[in-house]
């Protein structure tokens, strides 16, 4: 009987193709938009992922990593005094203005690393050496800056110089970093030099990076540091998720992408439900004949669900495959953002199966009311 159900489905090619196309579009839209949303959320946490430090210490009012409230220099010493701290170093984070060789301007994410240890250094150096940051006016620029400058007709390489707030900066290395939410280039230098590049103000320290001693977890150390008045410490993973939750709660990004995903669901339900309903109507006489020959409702129900799920699996597979091809393409370009964790296709597959169940139930309603004697009329 199940084989008969599949033959009925595949031989009605027009409706089969319509069902597959509708569910493919639904799957593609939901998977692609959700993956782009995940990619944007990763962009918001670029600073956390680019700097390898287990504990981050900010002003007590800071809620996420891209929100910087300057601290006093003495806070580094206060953090070092906490039991369980292996080491603590200063970090400067700020948006500064760089002036290119042709006179145009470009905002950059200036990052000042501890002068002695280079804690938080770029993880992937494409050209040059991190140690050359000790040279006068030395900076490291990421691939985003190289690409942005290239589009303006300026080639960035080792030895290229430009200005940051009217102070000379010379590129000694090029690195690859995770792209930031605002797509501004990362420029790394030493902490002392970053203070010279930045506009002077009373407080210049952005945050403190700390390492727990052996046997102490990052969360435990963060809790200890947070007892210092005026400071708030995060374990790296906690800061990552806190930043994502902040953007979800305080921006319209989730609403924008959620609306598109819901529209995809509605389109899938409308197309699949209507087409499957018409498919059942066209095959009522055959189903009535099966009823007249003794086929009970559970068998007919299994046939209908098999037909619906078969279309669902094919539509989801094609949609997920097209999304993967899209992702492979944009990952090379690094824009738009794209990140598809395994939870995304699993969730979309669940939604597609729910749509198939809904479509099957619409058809079953007609079959339940069907009288076997109709086959003799």
Instruction: For 275, list phi and psi in degrees, rounded to 5.
Output: -65, -40
Query: How does pLDDT run across 150-195, given as a tens digit for each residue?
Result: 877 778 889 888 888 888 999 999 998 888 887 788 999 999 999 9
Query: How does pLDDT run across 14-65, given as a tens digit for each residue?
Result: 777 888 888 888 888 888 889 989 989 999 999 999 998 999 999 999 999 8
Looking at residue 373, its pLDDT comes to: 54
Instruction: For 127, list phi and psi in degrees, rounded to 5.
Output: -155, 140
Looking at residue 224, its pLDDT comes to: 93
Kindly state whether residues 138 and 270 are assigned to the same domain: no
Kindly state whether residues 264 and 331 are assigned to the same domain: yes
pTM comes to 0.83
Looking at residue 212, its pLDDT comes to: 94
Q: How many other β-carbons are positioned within 10 Å of the β-carbon of residue 273?
A: 19
Kindly state whether residues 34 and 159 are assigned to the same domain: no
Query: How does pLDDT run across 286-327, given as a tens digit for each residue?
Result: 666 666 666 666 777 777 778 778 888 888 889 889 988 888
Query: How does pLDDT run across 104-160, given as a tens digit for each residue?
Result: 788 889 999 998 889 988 888 999 899 899 899 999 999 888 888 787 777 888 988
The domain boundary residue, chosen from 196, 219, 250: 250
Query: Is a pLDDT exceeding 80 seen at residue 277?
Result: no
Facing residues of 93 across strands?
Answer: 111
- Domain of residue 236: give its range: 46-250
Kindly state whether residues 287 and 370 are assigned to the same domain: yes
Strand-pair category, 167-175 with 207-212:
unpaired
HSE-CB of 115 using CA atoms within 13 angstroms:
9
Cα torsion through 51, 205, 251, 46, rounded to 10: -10
Number of domains in the chain: 2
What share of the chain in percent tops pLDDT 90? Answer: 31
Q: What share of the chain is helix, strand, coil (3-state, %, to 5)?
A: 55, 20, 25
The domain boundary residue, chosen from 250, 277, 311: 250
Neighbour-count burial of 267, counting CB atoms closer than 10 A to its CB (0-12 exposed, 13-18 middle, 19+ buried): middle
Facing residues of 188 across strands?
Answer: 111, 140
For 171, the token pair is 């590129």
What is the rounded CA–CA span in Å between residue 233 and residue 62? 10
Average pLDDT, integer, range 205-212: 94
């Amino acid at each position: 009987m199940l084989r008969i159900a599949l033959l009925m489905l595949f031989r009605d090619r027009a409706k089969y193709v319509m069902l597959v196309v509708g569910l493919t579009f639904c799957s593609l839209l939901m998977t692609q938009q959700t993956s782009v949303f995940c990619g944007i959320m990763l962009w918001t946490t670029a600073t956390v992922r680019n700097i390898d430090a287990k504990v981050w210490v900010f002003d007590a009012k800071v809620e996420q990593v891209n929100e910087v409230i300057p601290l006093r220099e003495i806070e580094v010493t206060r953090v070092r005094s906490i039991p369980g701290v292996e080491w603590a170093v200063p970090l400067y984070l700020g948006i500064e203005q760089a002036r290119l060789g042709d006179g145009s301007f470009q905002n950059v994410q200036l990052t000042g690393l501890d002068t002695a240890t280079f804690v938080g250094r770029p993880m992937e150096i494409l050209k040059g050496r991190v140690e050359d940051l000790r040279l006068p006016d030395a900076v490291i620029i990421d691939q985003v800056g190289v690409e942005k400058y290239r589009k303006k007709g300026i080639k960035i390489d080792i030895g290229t110089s430009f200005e940051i707030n009217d102070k000379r900066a010379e590129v000694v290395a090029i690195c690859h970093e995770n792209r930031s939410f605002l797509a501004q280039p990362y420029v790394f230098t030493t902490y002392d030099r970053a203070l010279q590049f930045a506009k002077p103000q009373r407080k210049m320290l952005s945050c403190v990076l700390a390492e727990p001693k052996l046997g102490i977890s990052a969360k435990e150390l963060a809790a200890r540091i947070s007892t210092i008045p005026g400071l708030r410490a995060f374990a790296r993973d906690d800061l990552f998720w806190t930043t994502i939750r902040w953007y979800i709660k305080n921006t319209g990004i989730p609403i924008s992408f959620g609306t598109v995903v819901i529209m995809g669901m509605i389109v899938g339900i409308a197309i699949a439900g209507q087409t499957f309903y018409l498919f059942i109507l066209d095959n009522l006489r055959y189903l009535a004949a099966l009823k007249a020959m003794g086929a009970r409702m559970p068998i007919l129900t299994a046939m209908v669900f098999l037909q619906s799920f078969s279309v669902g699996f094919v539509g989801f597979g094609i949609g997920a495959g097209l999304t993967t091809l899209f992702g492979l393409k944009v990952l090379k370009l690094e824009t738009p953002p794209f990140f598809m964790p395994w939870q995304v296709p699993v969730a979309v597959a669940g939604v597609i199966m729910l749509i198939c169940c809904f479509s099957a139930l619409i058809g079953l309603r007609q079959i339940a009311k069907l009288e076997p004697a109709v086959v003799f009329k």
